[in-house]
Structure 1
Amino acid sequence: MNERHVLGISGGKDSAALAIFMRQKYPHLDISYFFTDTGKELPEVYDFLAKLEGFLGKQIERLNPHRDFDFWLREYGHFLPNPQTRWCTRQLKLLPFKNWVRPWLESGDKVYSYVAIRADEEHREGLISQHDNLIVQLPFREHGVDKMGVYDLLDASGVGMPKYYDWRSRSGCTFCFFQQKIEWVRLKKEHPDKFEEAKAYEKSALEHGSPFTWTQRESLEELEQPERVAAIEADFNIRKQREYARIRINPLRPQKSELMDIDELYLEEEGGGACLICHK
């Protein structure tokens, strides 16, 4: 029986910080880092993965190289994924991971999977193991690492934050349906070609009889209208100022006390939540 150690990198801050933490705290562990590529990640994600690999001194293995988003979109009759039918998470994230570790589990190896759930996320749980030899570990919770601890790890390592956090926090996947409307507006500004591609997917889905658009209650064509963009930006700014007024300043880290993810300003009516495996 062998022991395997694996850690999934989502392209987000928490999983990257966990990889840094494990490299520093447990350098004796031979950890296999992996990234399940949807084929529709933001360009910033690939830049960040390369930077993280430089720190780890180890390649992050890419899973799912042959069956990307377009493949599964055709399999699902051009119906877009949505909060009720998250086929993207199931087929592009969970299935590749299960297929990857299956040979080890079937041969009797123990596989330790390290998940980046922080100490301040009591409401979240990791992937529930369906195999006795797949053991899910939560090092941040065990060592008391919270959100500020994540920022500290990224800063001290020199890896820093993924650049897409300047305007987005939901996920590194370009077309994540859990994006806020403000994030779709910013996608249009940051990557207009990606926004146009999203519109094309939406049009194709509607032509194939899909009842879903990327964002609830309106199409991207409706969302991009100047008057609608202005309303979305105004609403977001109001929420941001309201939440900033509630921040309790930590005298030991006054600047970092003001850090706030777009994620924290998420409106329930916009869909709520995010897929843990993509978001972390």
Structure 2
Amino acid sequence: MRKVIVNFSGGKDSTAAILKVLEKYPKDEVLLCYQDTGAEYLETVSHVQQIAVMLELPLVILKPERDFWQEVEHRRFFPTPGLRWCTGKLKQDIFNKWLSGNFRGKGYEIVVVTGIRGDESFSRSKLHEFEDPSDHRIVKSATKLWYPCLYMTAKEVKD
């Protein structure tokens, strides 16, 4: 059994990643996952749901115990480039917990897909299209990480 889980933000890169996934995998293996940090535009959740319905794909919406604003109040400071607690606390930790709880030890080959592009940052430019999840804090329960948009430019994603 295989499950292809696409981290879907509702943006152009993760939408392009979904389209790449659908070129390679059957719909019944694909699941969209949206992490709601509580700091998104109000329309984002509705947009994500509409795309899932339009593509006839199941969607899971994950929410942390404390949303972004509650976490800022708890920590008494906003995330900074040097201390980026937002991604880890509000997205990666909740995703990994959900992934482990739903798929670990159940015989699934898990492919986790993210729509990041290499031209977005120096560290992302060093990634490979397929990565070993054992090296990543976010997806230890996965079999494979796939970045289908890694070598695409912003223009290619838009087109």
Q: How would you bin the TM-score normalised by the shorter chain?
A: 0.7 to 0.9
Query: Paired residue for 1:139, among 148, 153, 157?
Result: 148
TM-score normalized by structure 1? Answer: 0.45
Q: Distance in 1 between matches of 2:81 and 2:63?
A: 22
What's the CA shift string for 1:210-246, capped at 9, x where partnerless?
A: xxxxxxxxxxxxxxxxxxxxxxxxxxxxxxxxxxxxx
| Contact 2:8/2:114 (8 A) holds in 1 | no
Q: Distance in 2 between matches of 1:89 and 1:120?
A: 19
More strand by share: 2
Say if 1:24 and 1:134 are closer, same or farther in 2 by CA, change over 3 A. closer
Query: Paired residue for 1:85, among 60, 83, 86?
Result: 83
Q: Distance in 2 between matches of 1:136 and 1:15?
A: 14
Q: In terms of Rg, which structure is larger?
A: 1
State the 1:24 CA deviation: 4.4
- Relative contact order higher in (CA < 8 Å, ≥ 6 apart): 2
Runs of 5+ consecutive residues of structure 1 not aligned to the other structure: 153-280
Say if 1:96 and 1:149 are closer, same or farther in 2 by CA, change over 3 A. same
What's the CA shift string for 1:125-180, capped at 9, x where partnerless?
A: 37862337431012335xx644333222xxxxxxxxxxxxxxxxxxxxxxxxxxxx
Paired AA for residue 123 in structure 1: S
State the 1:29 CA deviation: 5.1
Structure 1 partner of 2:111: 112
Structure 1 partner of 2:63: 64
Runs of 5+ consecutive residues of structure 2 not aligned to the other structure: 135-139
Size of the alignment, in residue pairs?
148
TM-score normalized by structure 2? Answer: 0.74
| Contact 1:5/1:29 (8 A) holds in 2 | no
Say if 1:69 and 1:119 are closer, same or farther in 2 by CA, change over 3 A. closer
Q: Distance in 1 between matches of 2:8 and 2:60?
A: 10
Say if 1:53 and 1:124 are closer, same or farther in 2 by CA, change over 3 A. farther
Structure 2 partner of 1:94: 92
Say if 1:65 and 1:88 are closer, same or farther in 2 by CA, change over 3 A. closer
| Contact 2:9/2:48 (8 A) holds in 1 | no
Q: Distance in 2 between matches of 1:125 and 1:69?
A: 28
| Contact 1:23/1:56 (8 A) holds in 2 | no
Structure 2 partner of 1:10: 9
Say if 1:61 and 1:73 are closer, same or farther in 2 by CA, change over 3 A. same
State the 1:4 CA deviation: 2.0
Cα RMSD (Å): 2.9
| Contact 1:111/1:134 (8 A) holds in 2 | yes
Paired AA for residue 36 in structure 1: Q
Q: Distance in 1 between matches of 2:87 and 2:100?
A: 18
Q: Distance in 2 between matches of 1:19 and 1:49?
A: 12
Q: Distance in 2 between matches of 1:40 and 1:118?
A: 23
Structure 2 partner of 1:148: 155
SS at match of 1:140: coil
SS at match of 2:91: helix
Identity of aligned residues (%): 27
| Contact 2:110/2:141 (8 A) holds in 1 | no
Q: Distance in 1 between matches of 2:19 and 2:80?
A: 32
